[in-house]
Amino acid sequence: MKILVQREAFDLGAEVAAMSQGRTDIGAVASFVGLARDMNEGSGVQAMTLEHYPGMTEKALAALVDEANARWPLLDTTVIHRIGRLLPGDPIVLVVVASQHRGEAFAASEFIMDYLKTRAPFWKKEETLQGERWVEARASDDAAAARWIEP
Partner 1 sequence: MKLRVLYFARLRERFGVAEESLDFSGATAADLIGQLQARGGVWAEELASGRAFRVAVNQEIVTLDAVFPEHAEIAIFPPVTGG
Binding site for partner 1 (CB under 8 A): 34, 50-53, 55-56, 59-60, 81, 92-93, 113, 116-125, 134-138
Least distance between a copy of itself and beta carbon 48 (Å): 12
Cβ proximity to a copy of itself, 4 vs 28, nearer residue? 28
Amino acid at 89: G
Which residue among 42, 55, 70, 89 contacts a copy of itself (CB under 8 A)?
A: 89
Answer whether 134's CB lies under 8 Å from 125's CB: yes
Does residue 146 touch a copy of itself according to CB under 8 A? Answer: no
What's CA 66's distance to the chain center, in Å?
Answer: 15
Which residue among 2, 7, 37, 119 contacts a copy of itself (CB under 8 A)?
A: 37
E strand map for the chain: 2-6, 28-35, 39-40, 43-44, 47-52, 74-82, 84-86, 91-99, 122-128, 131-134
